[in-house]
């Protein structure tokens, strides 16, 4: 049996979680998931500005902090913190933790190969619209194929203390240690599906130990000390989801079921680079306090194509807010919205979208929300999106003047004009598996 913990569900998750997982009890592997689709465009821009960046910068200092305990307890760290620059990330880890052996997995980043791929007949059409990638070629910011667990397992086989990948799948961070420890083969679909589902359960960190949980959330104990998840995995593909004793949170079948539904499309065909997992075969059973046993999982052969996550520059947006207080807070906010829209129209400004929300009334649930007759305060939030930066910038100058020339009791304008931000759009595509050639390197 091996214990695989996950201490980060995204770049920005609780910094203390990985430390507590290493210090508060036994684990064999520490998985850290940093990347999302939008993250790839952020790190690509950072690398373009500075060749020494392009990775999750929280990761190297964390390794420096944990280096002694990692070596002392024999914990192996597996992370996708490399972003678009695993080499630079590894070098910084080595600088801060020189006694750790670090290996990297490369090959997922196809940004520099886009023109070559298009020229060789790979349309990489948008999976939702069918439009060819050439239509947005000049605006592409990043392009990364989702790679699976076997290259990560290959990196573990080098004896590395820390394995750093780029855009591997979230589930690969958990599946790879199982492949490495148990010697699973590339055609053992049921076992690979079990490891994939284990990774899916813990990939969002504390979301499977009571965080962000709808099931009786008021009774979840000790959120401030919430335990992050641990999978106790067996060679036959069965595993237990748990957490360290004495930590907050809760692990039950209901909590695990909520996480199983996270980002789930067709439950019979959960497609990954390693296999296709059938979520309808999952069997859950309580296995003691804060323990859920998972078994019965079936899988199918991996797909011939790999998904490529591409981000591109769409245009610009700006979002501004004002707060109106009682009495007539909602009426004042609606009047202010009308004033802004009328002034934009008179200025001849046109946008792809103007969107208004009334926080405290219906911003989250719309018409499904309970009616609030006379709220104590309402936050007016107006946003515009368009391809002309000058028009978006002009919008930012129309909200703050309402403090003096609009409805009374406006406040919450201390930050002044809202900033104009770039809009990064997402382009999902498919690419033949053989076009992606991964490589493992030990960074000395």
**Residue where a domain terminates, one of 271, 303, 335:** 303
183 and 53 in a common domain: yes
What would the mean pLDDT of 169-195 be, rounded to a whole number?
98
Instruction: Indicate left, alpha or beta for 290 from its phi (over 0: left) and psi (-120 to 50: alpha).
Output: left
The tokens describing 23, both together, are: 């210090």
134 in any annotated domain: no
Question: DSSP for 356-375?
Answer: EEEETTTTTTGGGSPP-SS-
The chain-wide mean pLDDT, for the chain, equals: 96
pLDDT at residue 199, as a whole number: 98
Question: CA distances (Å), 56 to each of 43, 102, 306, 309, in order?
Answer: 8, 16, 24, 18
| Contact by Cβ (8 Å): 101, 161 | yes
DSSP one-letter code for 433: G
368 and 246 in a common domain: no
pLDDT at residue 39, as a whole number: 85
378 and 290 in a common domain: no
Return the exposure string of 205-227: e unless at least 16 CB atoms fall within 10 Å of the residue's CB, then b. Answer: bbbbbbbebeeeeeebeeeeebb
435 in any annotated domain: no
> What CATH number is attached to the domain comprising 338?
3.30.70
pLDDT tens-place string over residues 10-36: 999 999 999 999 999 999 999 999 988
pLDDT tens-place string over residues 327-378: 999 999 999 999 999 999 999 999 999 999 999 998 998 889 888 889 999 9
Please say if the pLDDT value at position 245 is more than 80. yes
Question: DSSP for 41-109?
Answer: HHHHHHHHH-TT--S-TTHHHHHHHHHHHHHHHT-EEEE-TTTT-HHHHHHHHHHH-TTS-EEEEE--B
276 and 320 in a common domain: no
Q: Say how far apart CA 102 and CA 228 lie, in whole Å.
A: 24
248 in any annotated domain: yes
Q: Per DSSP, what are the bridge partners of residue 298?
A: 278
187 and 326 in a common domain: no
Please say if the pLDDT value at position 200 is more than 90. yes
Q: Mean pLDDT check: name the lowest of 49-53, 62-66, 205-209, 376-380.
A: 49-53
Handedness of CA 177, 200, 143, 18 (dihedral sign): negative
Number of domains in the chain: 2
pLDDT at residue 38, as a whole number: 78
124 in any annotated domain: no
With bands split at pLDDT 50, 70 and 90, how would you rate the model's confidence at 48?
confident
Handedness of CA 260, 265, 267, 270 (dihedral sign): negative
With bands split at pLDDT 50, 70 and 90, how would you rate the model's confidence at 215?
confident
**Residue where a domain terminates, one of 240, 268, 303:** 303
DSSP one-letter code for 112: G
What would the mean pLDDT of 414-443 be, rounded to a whole number?
94
Domain containing 158 equals 2-108+146-303
Tell me the percentage of the chain whose pLDDT exceeds 70: 100
359 and 247 in a common domain: no
pLDDT at residue 301, as a whole number: 98
Q: Per DSSP, what are the bridge partners of residue 277?
A: 270, 299
400 in any annotated domain: yes
153 and 25 in a common domain: yes
pLDDT tens-place string over residues 286-321: 999 999 999 999 999 999 999 999 999 999 999 999
Q: For the chain, how many residues are written?
A: 444
What would the mean pLDDT of 74-97 be, rounded to a whole number?
97
Please say if the pLDDT value at position 388 is more than 90. yes
What three-state secondary structure class fits 193?
helix
pLDDT tens-place string over residues 266-276: 999 999 999 99
| Lookup result for tokens 């401030």 | 224
Question: CA distances (Å), 147 to each of 60, 117, 202, 340, 389, in order?
Answer: 22, 18, 19, 47, 36
Q: Say how far apart CA 191 and CA 292 lie, in whole Å.
A: 18
Q: Mean pLDDT check: name the lowest of 38-52, 208-222, 251-265.
A: 38-52
Closest CA to 234 of 26, 30, 3: 3
9 in any annotated domain: yes
Please say if the pLDDT value at position 414 is more than 90. no
pLDDT at residue 236, as a whole number: 98
């Amino acid at each position: 049996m091996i214990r695989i913990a996950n201490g980060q569900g995204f770049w920005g998750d609780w910094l203390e979680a990985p430390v507590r997982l290493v210090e508060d009890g036994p684990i064999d592997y520490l998985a850290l998931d940093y990347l999302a689709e939008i993250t790839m465009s952020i790190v690509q821009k950072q690398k373009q500005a500075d060749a020494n960046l392009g990775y999750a910068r929280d990761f190297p200092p964390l390794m420096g902090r944990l280096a002694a305990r990692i070596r002392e307890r024999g914990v192996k760290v597996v992370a996708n913190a490399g972003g678009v620059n695993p080499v630079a990330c590894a070098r910084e880890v080595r600088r801060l933790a020189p006694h750790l052996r670090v290996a990297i997995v490369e090959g997922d980043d196809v940004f520099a190969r886009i023109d070559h791929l298009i020229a060789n007949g790979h349309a990489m059409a948008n999976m939702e619209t069918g439009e060819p990638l050439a239509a947005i070629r000049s605006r592409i910011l990043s392009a990364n194929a989702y790679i699976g667990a076997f290259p990560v397992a290959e990196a573990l086989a080098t004896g590395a203390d820390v394995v750093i990948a780029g855009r591997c799948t979230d589930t690969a961070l958990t599946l790879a240690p199982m492949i490495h420890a148990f010697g699973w083969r590339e055609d053992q679909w049921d076992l690979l599906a079990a490891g994939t589902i284990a990774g899916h359960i813990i990939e969002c960190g504390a979301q499977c130990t009571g965080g962000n949980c709808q099931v009786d959330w008021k009774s979840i104990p000790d959120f401030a000390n919430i335990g992050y998840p641990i999978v106790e995995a067996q060679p036959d593909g069965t595993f237990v989801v748990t957490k360290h004793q004495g930590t907050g949170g809760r692990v039950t079948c209901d909590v695990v079921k909520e996480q199983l539904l996270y980002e789930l499309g067709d439950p019979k065909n959960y497609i990954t680079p390693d296999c296709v997992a059938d979520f309808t075969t999952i069997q859950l059973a309580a296995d003691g306090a804060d323990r859920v046993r998972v078994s019965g999982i079936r899988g199918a052969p991996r797909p011939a194509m790999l998904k490529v996550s591409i981000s591109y520059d769409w245009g610009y947006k700006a979002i501004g807010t004002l707060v109106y207080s009682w009495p007539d807070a909602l009426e004042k906010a609606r009047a202010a919205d009308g004033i802004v829209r009328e002034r934009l129209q008179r200025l001849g400004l046109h946008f792809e979208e103007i969107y208004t929300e009334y926080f405290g009334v219906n911003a989250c649930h719309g018409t499904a929300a309970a009616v609030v007759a006379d709220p104590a305060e309402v936050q007016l939030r107006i946003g515009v999106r368009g391809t002309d930066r000058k028009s978006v910038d002009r919008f930012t100058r129309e909200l703050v003047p309402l403090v003096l020339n609009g409805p009374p009791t406006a406040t919450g304008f201390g930050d002044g004009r809202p900033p104009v931000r770039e809009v990064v759009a997402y382009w999902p595509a498919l690419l033949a598996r053989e076009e992606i050639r991964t490589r493992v390197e030990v960074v000395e």
